[in-house]
Structure 1
Amino acid sequence: MNSISRPFATRWNDNDVFGHLNNTVYYTAMDTTITGWLVSEGHFDIGTSDVLAFCVSSSCRFIEPAAFPDTLDVTLRAGRIGTTSIAWVLDMFRASDGAQVATGEFVHVFVGRDSHRPVPIPESLRAAVETELVG
């Protein structure tokens, strides 16, 4: 299965009162990984792209706690690819021992910058996703 992996460094203030990462940190790790891939690979320019990606659904299943100073290795692949949407599948592992700590899904709908209405996934992005993130 094709995927990419990116590190996500945790911070001291990411821990909650129970001594492990607050659940919102996992969502931040997923969103940062997806957007980082879109931006770094040239598929998206935050300031100028005609098409934006709006998150319409997200979920996370927690498997094992992580805590600062853990670094998470976040693996990204594409699940379902529709006409105007992509369901991204993400797995998060503790870098120090490789233990899987969470798995999640983000669903992006692609919309026009001005209209905020669904538009087809740009062909160059679709081709990159199918080449790099589908197995």
Structure 2
Amino acid sequence: MSLRPRDAYRHWHRITTRWADNDAYGHVNNTIYYQWFDTAVNAWLIGQGLLDIEHGDPIGLVVETGCRYAKPLSYPQDVEVGLAVETIGRSSVRYVIGIFGMGDVEAAAEGFFIHVHVDRTTRRPVAIPDAWRQAFEGIAATGG
């Protein structure tokens, strides 16, 4: 299985696995990867000043996500979550996310995460603000 290389990602977020992340088979359960996706994307948005959880408008709603797994990770292990923006639409953004064991060259997993930006009150799609679009363009995917 060929996953994107490390250099396809533009932003990195470090996560330490927890005891509870492992499942009965001794590796990180597949559901945890989706938590890591959510954490990496939202940490980047907060760091860019784009996400105000209580009062922000617009807000991004997850409409689709997926993941391909290549090799297991286990507690105790630090992981690096690579993030890039693959596609920017009128109201949507598709992120690509790579999960790597600390210092590993090859990804353990690769996923995607799609946000549709909506009005906080009406929940109807709205155009991505220009400043947000520029931030997304700043982490546009390379390679892959």
Residue ranges of structure 1 left out of the alignment (5+ in a row):
none
Cα distance in 2 for partners of 1:84, 1:121 equals: 5
What secondary structure, in the 3-state scheme, does the structure 2 residue paired with 1:69 have? coil
Cα distance in 1 for partners of 2:29, 2:10 equals: 26
Cα distance in 2 for partners of 1:132, 1:58 equals: 19
TM-score normalised to the size of structure 1?
0.94
Give 1:72 shift.
1.2
Give 1:41 shift.
1.4
Q: Is the 8 A contact 2:9 2:98 kept in 1?
A: no
Q: Counterparts in 2 of 1:17-96, with a 5 A limit?
A: 17-95=24-102
Residue 12 in structure 1 maps to residue 4 in structure 2: no
Residue ranges of structure 2 left out of the alignment (5+ in a row):
1-7
Q: Is the 8 A contact 2:15 2:79 kept in 1?
A: yes
Give 1:131 shift.
2.1
Relative to structure 1, the CA distance from residue 70 to residue 124 in structure 2 (aligned partners, 3 Å threshold; closer, same or farther) is same
TM-score normalised to the size of structure 2?
0.89
Relative to structure 1, the CA distance from residue 134 to residue 20 in structure 2 (aligned partners, 3 Å threshold; closer, same or farther) is closer
Give 1:99 shift.
3.9
Residue 131 in structure 1 maps to residue 138 in structure 2: yes
Instruction: Report the counterpart of residue 125 of structure 2 in structure 1.
Output: 118
What secondary structure, in the 3-state scheme, does the structure 2 residue paired with 1:66 have? coil
